[in-house]
Amino acid sequence: MNKAKFLKKSILFATIGILALSLIPAANAGVPGHFKDRLMSNNLLMPFWTGNYDWEFSTSEDIFFMIGWKSTLEELENDWAPKNPWKFKLFINNEEIPLQRFDIPIPKEEKTLFIKSSMWYHLFGSGYFEAEGGYLLRFEFWVRRPYQGDGKNYWRIFEDYWGFVWGPPGTVASFEYYLNIIA
Q: Enumerate the domain spans of the chain.
A: 26-182
Residue 23 predicted with pLDDT over 50 = no
Long-range (24+ apart) CB contacts under 8 A made by 155-159 are 158/81, 158/82, 158/86
| Whole-number average pLDDT of the chain | 83
Residue 14 predicted with pLDDT over 50 = no
pLDDT digits (tens, 9 = 90+) for 42-53: 999 999 999 999
Kindly indicate the confidence band of residue 116, based on its pLDDT and cuts at 50, 70 and 90.
Answer: confident
Q: Given CATH 3.40.50, say whether it is the number of domain 26-182.
A: no
Q: Model-level pTM?
A: 0.78
